[in-house]
Copies of this chain bind each other. A is one copy, B any other.
């Protein structure tokens, strides 16, 4: 994908510089195909001998969220979770309280209904998150 030029343009337009640290973080993050947290990413970069300070990692992630590469997730109110979300289909999450499994799902009609409700209140959406807390099929069966 064309993430690099898009990121560089974003940085330029906001008076930010395309440092090697920022570019390395973008690169690492765009390889992710699942949810992750900041410290996990920091340690991964460290292992790959791309030692970027914890501060820089924590400083860069909000930038990547702001320019639309990452989505900040809401499950687990202790730590922030992210997912790469550029050029991919938008999805929502079902979180199992028992086994912790996270199921991703898509619903066009859900998105449409949400869009309607948002417009009705004169609100301008940037992102949204729909998260369902409950129990997955397997866990329900186990508890019988």
Given contacts A94-B118, A114-B110, A120-B105, contact A132 B125 (CB under 8 A): yes
Q: Once the chains bind, are A134 and B129 in contact (CB under 8 Å)? A: no
Which residues of chain A from 114 to 138 have a CB within 8 Å of any chain B CB? 114, 116-118, 120-137
Count of chain A residues near B, Cβ 8 A: 37
Does A103 sit within 8 A of B, measured CB to CB? Answer: yes
The number of times this chain is found in the oligomer is 2
Task: Return chain B residues, CB-CB under 8 Å to A40.
Answer: none
Q: Can you list 11 A-B pairs, Cβ within 8 angstroms, ordered by A?
A: A74-B77, A92-B117, A96-B123, A109-B113, A121-B137, A123-B132, A123-B137, A125-B132, A128-B130, A128-B131, A130-B130
Interface residues of A (CB under 8 A from B): 72, 74, 77, 80, 92, 94, 96-97, 103, 105, 107, 109-110, 113-114, 116-118, 120-137, 140
